[in-house]
Structure 1
Amino acid sequence: MSVETLLWEEDATGLAARVRAGDVTPGELVEAAIARLEAVNPDINAVAEKLYEEARRQAGTVDRAAPLAGVPFAIKDLGIAASGVPTHGGSRVPPFTPDFDSVLTERHRAAGLIAVATSTTPEYGLRLMTESARFGVTRNPWNTGHTSGGSSGGASALVAAGVVPLAHASDGGGSIRVPSACTGLVGLKTARGRVPLSPLTSESWYGFVVDHAVSRSVRDSALLLDLTHGPDPFAPYAAPAPRAGFAAAAARDPGKLRIGVYRGSPLGMDISAETLTALDTAVSLAKEGGHQVEEIDLPMIDRAFMAGFARCVASAVAGSTRQEATRLGRGMRGDLERATRLIARLGDVVTAGEIYATLERLRAACRVMLAATARFDAVLMPLIAHPPLPCGAMDPKGIDVFLEEALDRLRLTRLLRVDRFFDELLDKSLWFTHWPAIQNVSGQPAIALPVHVTAAGLPLGVQAAGRPGDEETLLSLAAQMEKLSGWRTRRAPLKRPV
């Protein structure tokens, strides 16, 4: 078996075991990852920066006793610092090149991971499809005419294409889980405070954003979380310590769980038959695992909730673009994509008092939701309302282009304070992804489960949301469903190694 085939077939845990056994060296794995990336990236366009020379250097010095020694990896081009590596955030704005590492970067390296590239993201992570004016369209290895999701779409494309077995990702409104659902991967959105974002920032988007990874297997996600979780001195808050460890949880039988199933749309918008089939598949696997399943509703999660989330994100984007202007010493909104600029301007016209009141309303709704679902160990619900979309499907067209240009050129963003106009914008932004922002607001952990492949051959995952701070139960459940379904052996058909 060639090293490239080994890289394509194994998960990170398996590759690390091969390194420890002496079957393969870190240098061989890095070279295989580079060769694989060069072979498939023209098809998927998932790379922001190539880190080949540094990866080769690290392969020669990595501690082979490290838990994931020599395993090739990718880091997202957003929200994490690696010294000397330009961070573009998917934008034409001049990049930020840090002279320090994030705490998470240090933990990745201590685990033995070797980054071979940074992965593409839409501008500032604001779309759930990875398409940007800076880097172009990132494509799905299962079908390159379709999206790999966003905003960690470059990460998911690299993992699904067999370049790396797992990759750093972040999630502020579904950006780990949506790409996983689109590309047949496991994507754990961790509990708020589980993994520090420092020293780059203390929190992002009012605490909505968390960092972790997309992976081929549940055990990889669990092991990586064991190696990277825990606060540091700059962390503003911390998630509860795990009871026995995340890898241990993924390795044990979950016992008989009580699981809720939510089928509704908080936006009241259409849900495809394929999405409901995927949810039914997850329900069937849960029942096969011996769990008690109950259909529920979440009336407290409605259009007002989703609108509040969107306004808070706009406020955060307005603030971050001001920070970027300070860094550059000049105005930079002219460098932004039109849609990003409109979101920032919307954030400018929402007052601080309104955002505070909105956050309080969101948190109150989450308290009601958590109380209503406290009897469940997990709640199954969709992630994407339709199978992975064709590339470009969410671009404005026709009259929408005219309206966006008018709002932008005439600076009429205040019209978006009118509910009718804002509702139209909300629907256009979230018709593909109605659900994932719920857990970003609540701070709950949630995991994308790659339960279904459509008749057209595209993955379509759903999610399980857990109790606050309880990734262990989710990982135990997900590992059981992985074993029952056999999804861990699925691979995208793109340029299968020979």
Structure 2
Amino acid sequence: MRRVHAFGDDALGDLDAVALADALAARRLSRLDVVQAAIARTEAVNPTLNALAYQAFDQALAAASALDETGFFGGVPTFVKDNVDVAGLPTMRGTDAWVPRRAAADGEFTRLYLATGLISLGKTQLSEYGFSASAEHPRLGPVRNPWDTDYTAGASSSGSGALVAAGAVPIAHANDGGGSIRIPAACNGLVGLKPSRGRLPLDKDMRRMPLRLVTNGVLTRSVRDTAAFYREAERIWRNRKLPPIGDVQHPGKQRLKIAVITRSVDGECSPEMRELTLKSAGLLEELGHHIEHIENPPVPSSFAADFVLYWALLATGQLRVSRAQFGDTFDDSRLDNLTLGLDRHARRNLHRLPLAIVRLRAVRRRTAQFYRRYDAALTPTVADVTPRLGYLDPTADYEQIIGRLRGWVTFTPLHNVTGEPAISLPLAESADGLPVGMMISTDLGCEVRLLELAYELEEAKPWARIHSHTPG
């Protein structure tokens, strides 16, 4: 295995974001030392991982040297995914199909994110427009998994996942329109919570969708980092239509009724993933939760095809906006086959889109009924173990790419359609020694339940650490 990480005896050590924030607040560490350590770590691992889209090291050092008041995470280093605006940096969305332009101001989410006190070192790489579950751009290069660099880091929040797992920073921005927080969490051994729709603000372009699939969030190495981020974000910006998350610091006392599902609308997951999911269900049962195995997910047989068609509509929309925004510098020939294939699929099937959107919106009625019977559902995050780079090669034939994506990314899109929260936790390990994510979902607005359960599982079965784990 080609494992790459930057953990060592510097200012960051192996501290998570909460421990780092505590040390900074108590002045046991200086913000400048912490940011310098994060820059050095990033420079050590990025030549191999290819996770960084743009560096903003000088700006980060200046922010660390400033005496401004900061939030809870004051001085903790981070990265922002390159599909939201950061002042002074271009937003390229995982492609090189136009000439970069620097953003004049931070986007809505970036303003909230940095208001928590986090200091951004730059922007992280993603798959083109975030459409693929693996970032393997033909010219920008693949983002590699730090646990084994022959494998994908997942996507679309691939760069963020790789850098957090490798120890460059303890927390990084991610967002999720079909699994893009949870899939990198599963591939890289991280905690990845996709929150309820509307829990965090979206930039304007992501709010224009007929069905809002995308939610912002973070990737972390510990449950408490994820919980602390949502607590701090909620203190700055809160959607009053959702129940508050508040300060979740411990496991919950309530024993839950949890449905275990290993089959999606596209079929059963791999035998290895089924076995690992059932082991995770056994752990939940040992902890006193009531487990019930059910055969099929609460979605219609049309779900996967409808989702792909709507995903394709997003590709067409993104291309139209890009052509209008970047004019003569926009070059279609530099787009990958997945983006182009999705665009063709949408244009050829525009007449089917209205009914597909109606059916997708109706899925929430089914899942709302499902969560009247169950408190939560356990599934694998993806249908098979992490693939090697090349399996989702975006230069391959479109039908091959979309077929493989549908087969692997088959559990996560449901929650983007319904708006319900779901969390991926690194509860298992593949036969190859790579992290395997298990996903727990629940009803709209019930992130507290997921965080409490995640704390309980983290205590019962602490997950592997990249710098201290021997496979097997």
**How many angstroms does 1:190 deviate by?**
0.7
**How many angstroms does 1:290 deviate by?**
1.6
**How many angstroms does 1:359 deviate by?**
1.3
Match of 1:439 in 2: 415
Q: Does residue 1:295 correspond to 2:314, yes or no? A: no
Give, in whole Å, the separation in 1 of the partners of 2:467 and 2:137.
24
**How many angstroms does 1:347 deviate by?**
1.9
Structure 1 residues 96 and 133: CA distance shift in structure 2, 3 A: farther
Structure 1, residues 251-305: CA drift from partner, whole Å, max 9, x if none? 242421111111112102x522331233123212312322111112335425420
Residue type at the aligned position of 1:430: R
**How many angstroms does 1:64 deviate by?**
6.1
Q: TM-score with structure 1 length normalisation? A: 0.87
Assess if the C-alpha contact under 8 Å between 2:277 and 2:379 holds in 1: yes
Q: How do 1:343-422 and structure 2 match up within 5 A?
A: 343-351=342-350, 354-395=352-393, 401=397, 404=398
Give, in whole Å, the separation in 2 of the partners of 1:74 and 1:493.
24
Structure 1, residues 362-390: CA drift from partner, whole Å, max 9, x if none? 12233123202322221001111221111
**How many angstroms does 1:33 deviate by?**
0.6
Give, in whole Å, the separation in 2 of the partners of 1:365 and 1:298.
14
Give, in whole Å, the separation in 2 of the partners of 1:296 and 1:10.
40
Structure 2: give runs of 5+ residues left out of the alignment: 1-6
Q: Does residue 1:88 correspond to 2:92, yes or no? A: yes
**How many angstroms does 1:332 deviate by?**
3.6
Residue type at the aligned position of 1:119: T
Structure 1 residues 253 and 429: CA distance shift in structure 2, 3 A: closer
Give, in whole Å, the separation in 2 of the partners of 1:137 and 1:5.
29
Match of 1:408 in 2: none
Structure 1 residues 390 and 4: CA distance shift in structure 2, 3 A: same
Match of 1:241 in 2: 243
Structure 1, residues 192-224: CA drift from partner, whole Å, max 9, x if none? 011111345425572011110111111111111
Aligned-residue identity in percent: 34
Q: How do 1:219-258 and structure 2 match up within 5 A?
A: 219-229=224-234, 239-242=241-244, 245=246, 248-258=247-257
Say which of 432, 452, 458 aligns to 1:482.
458
Assess if the C-alpha contact under 8 Å between 1:149 and 1:179 holds in 2: yes
Residue type at the aligned position of 2:445: G
Comparing 94-103 and 472-481, the one that deviates more:
94-103
Match of 1:473 in 2: 449
Structure 1 residues 148 and 463: CA distance shift in structure 2, 3 A: same
Q: Does residue 1:53 correspond to 2:54, yes or no? A: no
Assess if the C-alpha contact under 8 Å between 1:197 and 1:211 holds in 2: yes
Structure 1 residues 62 and 74: CA distance shift in structure 2, 3 A: farther
Aligned residues: 461
Match of 2:3 in 1: none
Q: Secondary structure at the match of 2:106?
A: coil
Q: Secondary structure at the match of 1:373?
A: helix
Match of 1:453 in 2: 429
Residue type at the aligned position of 1:490: R
Q: TM-score with structure 2 length normalisation? A: 0.92
Q: Does residue 1:325 correspond to 2:323, yes or no? A: yes
Match of 2:339 in 1: 340
Say which of 11, 17, 20 aligns to 1:12.
17
Q: How do 1:174-185 and structure 2 match up within 5 A?
A: 174-185=179-190
Give, in whole Å, the separation in 1 of the partners of 2:420 and 2:107.
23
Say which of 11, 20, 38 aligns to 1:33.
38
Q: Secondary structure at the match of 1:294?
A: strand
**How many angstroms does 1:427 deviate by?**
2.6
Give, in whole Å, the separation in 1 of the partners of 2:370 and 2:165.
36
Comparing 198-207 and 9-18, the one that deviates more:
198-207
Give, in whole Å, the separation in 2 of the partners of 1:387 and 1:110.
37
Match of 2:4 in 1: none
**How many angstroms does 1:334 deviate by?**
2.6
**How many angstroms does 1:462 deviate by?**
1.1
**How many angstroms does 1:339 deviate by?**
2.2
Assess if the C-alpha contact under 8 Å between 1:254 and 1:477 holds in 2: no
Say which of 399, 403, 414 aligns to 1:427.
403
Q: Secondary structure at the match of 2:264?
A: coil
Assess if the C-alpha contact under 8 Å between 1:281 and 1:451 holds in 2: no
Match of 1:260 in 2: 259
Match of 1:194 in 2: 199
Structure 1 residues 493 and 92: CA distance shift in structure 2, 3 A: farther
Residue type at the aligned position of 1:448: S
Give, in whole Å, the separation in 1 of the partners of 2:210 and 2:296.
24
Give, in whole Å, the separation in 2 of the partners of 1:332 and 1:238.
42
Give, in whole Å, the separation in 1 of the partners of 2:70 and 2:335.
45
**How many angstroms does 1:36 deviate by?**
0.6
Give, in whole Å, the separation in 2 of the partners of 1:46 and 1:23.
30
**How many angstroms does 1:66 deviate by?**
2.1
**How many angstroms does 1:355 deviate by?**
1.9
Structure 1 residues 112 and 396: CA distance shift in structure 2, 3 A: closer
Structure 1, residues 237-259: CA drift from partner, whole Å, max 9, x if none? 865131x61xx334242421111
Match of 1:149 in 2: 154
Structure 1: give runs of 5+ residues left out of the alignment: 405-421
Give, in whole Å, the separation in 1 of the partners of 2:217 and 2:68.
22
Residue type at the aligned position of 1:339: L
